[in-house]
């Protein structure tokens, strides 16, 4: 959002980015374009959290109706193995 000012002129498009593969940069992100949002993302795990403490979309009831992929309890399955 920009209020009372001038934009930078940099387009927010998938093709717009700064950097590139190593050795052009050692950063895995960019500050412009649609990929810039990844600078503000982080992984969060809620292992063993009670349902009432989970954000609404992560609860088993899923009141927002977002798609979920819930693994059954037990040992982890290796990549490529099917769960029966």
- Mean pLDDT estimate for the chain: 77
Q: Where are the domains of the chain?
A: 12-65
Distance in angstroms (rounded) separating the CA atoms of residues 29 and 7 = 22
Q: What percent of the chain has pLDDT over 90?
A: 18
Distance in angstroms (rounded) separating the CA atoms of residues 39 and 31 = 8
Instruction: Please report the pLDDT score of residue 83 as a whole number.
Output: 55
Q: Which residue has the higher pLDDT, 67 or 33?
A: 67
| pLDDT, tens only, 37-48 | 777 888 888 888
Instruction: Please report the pLDDT score of residue 50 as a whole number.
Output: 95
Q: What pTM, to 2 d.p., does this model score?
A: 0.42
Which distant-in-sequence residues (6+ apart) come within 8 Å of 29 by Cβ? 19, 35, 36, 38, 39
**Burial call 34-49: b when 16+ CB within 10 Å, e when fewer:** ebbeeeeeeeeeeeee
């Amino acid at each position: 959002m920009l209020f009372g000012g001038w934009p930078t002129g940099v387009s927010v498009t998938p093709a717009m980015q700064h950097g590139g593969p190593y050795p052009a940069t050692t950063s895995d992100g960019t500050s412009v374009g649609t990929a810039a949002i990844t600078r503000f993302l982080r992984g969060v795990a809620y292992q063993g959290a009670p349902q009432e403490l989970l954000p609404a979309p992560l609860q088993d009831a899923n009141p927002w109706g977002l798609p979920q992929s819930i693994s059954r309890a037990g040992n982890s399955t290796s990549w490529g193995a099917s769960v029966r």
